[in-house]
Amino acid sequence: MGSVQVADHKVSEEMKDDYSLDRVPREQRKMGWFSITNITFGIATAIFYFQMGSVMALQFGAINAIISSIYAIIVAGILGTFIAYISAKSGMNVNLFSRGGGFGYIGASLTSFIYATNFIMYCAFEGLILVSAVHTFFPALPKWALIIFFGSIVIPLNWFGIKQLDKLQKWSLPILAIFLTITIIISFHTPSVYEGAFWTYMPEGVQIGGQALLLCIGMQHGIMGLTALLSSDYARFLKPKDIKIGSVAIGFIPQIFCFGVMGGLGIWFGVRLGEPNPGVYIVLLLGIGGALFTMLTQLRINVTNIYSSSLSLSNFFENIFKFTPGRRFWVVVTGVCAMALMLGGIVDHLDTAMTFQGVFLLAWAAIIVSDAMIVKKLLKIGPGYYESRQEYLYKWNPVGVISLLISSCLGTIAALGYMGSFLQSTAAFFAAILAAILTVIIAVSTKGKYYSKSLPNDIPKDDYIA
């Protein structure tokens, strides 16, 4: 009987430490920077980055794809480092610290909802890559059945939160590394369809730089904001003594692997094999092993997508509707929504969605960073800490809300081509710069009035960022 109680207690301990609606207490910030960085590798090892690299190289030239990857590492790495630092200092994820970071508690709910839909759509997109790879080998199995099976399996993999994710990513990473090494070796021994060095490949009529490079950068923008913001969901568990090295590691290492290693391999595979779809060329290279490799990478990324989406939905419904069924309820909702998107074919419109979300996410990240580093730290406007509890906050803070609305609207108009070809390809970056400038201007104009309704007295001094 005693052993059963001990086992039940252990399970309940694993289930309760999600902190989806509150800051992680300092005594619960126990994870080292290596463990946190390892969890973020779930997104860094997604085959999606293969596909981006291959498509960019074959359409716009390998060197343009490489330059855009370096740009993505630098910009997303800087944003990710700042966001990881804010998260580790405050013990909050991006949804929570947005409340006291310029948006107000209702304003931040809008960002939480759009953020959640972003992860649901990526979950659907990544899931379809997996379904296509498996269906190639087992065409007798209907795609709808594979969608339901692989869409359902990520739900129990998310049931126990951050600790379960850590174990899953830690144990699967060596297996992934073995598969990846074998894929590279086999590719070396596969005749290349392009005779020159892969980085010299350039489609006919395409030049280095110019419009081709801008189009590559535009593609990178669709995912850069996500990878930077994602770090906050995990950095909040970072040990206080690891904050400095951890923020840089969590901010940059996943970006190096996302855009550098995986994106770079995608460029190499795409040029050598003359095929943009990794779901095709990995299966061609490894056979059934390719389907298993795809399965592993896509499950790793989708447990990360589901986790982040469940946190965002928890925040949104708690704030707007006072509905708090717990994070695991939202894990199920996210999984079901992703399956519905896959079954309904809505993912055929992902290009349009990614354009808007690239603009929105980079603008949001820019507001958070400029609010923390310029408004709070440099100008000393508003409180030097983050608060998420409604009793201390205004519903709306014009600093973040107005900055996001204006920059997202103008960025979307630019992305649709109404401001010329240059801004069309750099719309997300344009929106981010505009958002950062507006954040400072509005904060100075309002003198920080809408940051805090009353001052709490229970926030540890070590959680202050200014």
First to last CA, the chain: 51
pLDDT for residue 161: 66
Instruction: Measure the CA–CA gap between 464 and 388, rounded to whole angstroms.
Output: 14
Say how many C-beta atoms besides its own lie within 10 A of residue 334's C-beta: 28
Instruction: Measure the CA–CA gap between 53 and 375, rounded to whole angstroms.
Output: 37
Instruction: Measure the CA–CA gap between 369 and 98, rounded to whole angstroms.
Output: 10
Query: What does 151-182 look like in DSSP terms, one character per residue?
Result: HHHTTGGGTTTHHHHHHHHHHHHHHHHHHHHH
Q: Using H for helix, E for strand and C for coil, what is the string for 268-315?
A: HHHHHHCCCCHHHHHHHHHCHHHHHHHHHHHHHHHHHHHHHHHHHHHH
Q: Would you call 31 helix, strand, or coil by DSSP?
A: strand
The tens place of each residue's pLDDT in the chain, 466 residues long, gives 444 343 344 334 434 556 777 889 888 898 899 888 888 877 777 888 988 899 999 999 999 999 999 999 999 999 999 999 999 999 998 988 999 999 998 999 888 888 888 889 888 888 888 888 888 778 889 999 999 999 898 888 777 766 777 777 778 888 888 988 999 899 888 888 988 889 999 998 889 988 899 989 988 887 888 888 888 888 999 999 999 999 999 999 999 999 999 999 999 999 999 988 887 788 888 888 888 888 888 888 888 888 888 888 988 898 888 888 888 899 999 999 999 998 987 766 655 666 777 899 999 999 999 999 999 999 999 999 999 888 999 999 999 999 999 999 999 999 988 999 889 889 999 999 999 999 999 999 999 999 998 888 888 888 888 8
pLDDT for residue 199: 92
Q: 82-94, pLDDT tens digit by residue?
A: 999 999 999 998 9
Q: 216-266, pLDDT tens digit by residue?
A: 998 888 788 888 888 888 899 999 999 999 999 999 999 999 999 999 999
pLDDT for residue 458: 86
pLDDT for residue 15: 41
Burial (CB count within 10 angstroms: exposed 0-12, middle 13-18, buried 19+), residue 455: exposed
Instruction: Measure the CA–CA gap between 264 and 57, rounded to whole angstroms.
Output: 10
Considering the entire predicted model, what is its pTM? 0.85
Give every CB contact of residue 178 below 8 A, 6+ residues apart in sequence. none
Structure tokens at 121: 């759509």
Enumerate the β-bridge partners of residue 31: 238
Nearest to 103 by CA among 409, 315, 341: 315
Give CA angle at 343 (340, 344), nearest 5°.
Answer: 80
Structure tokens at 419: 């401001």
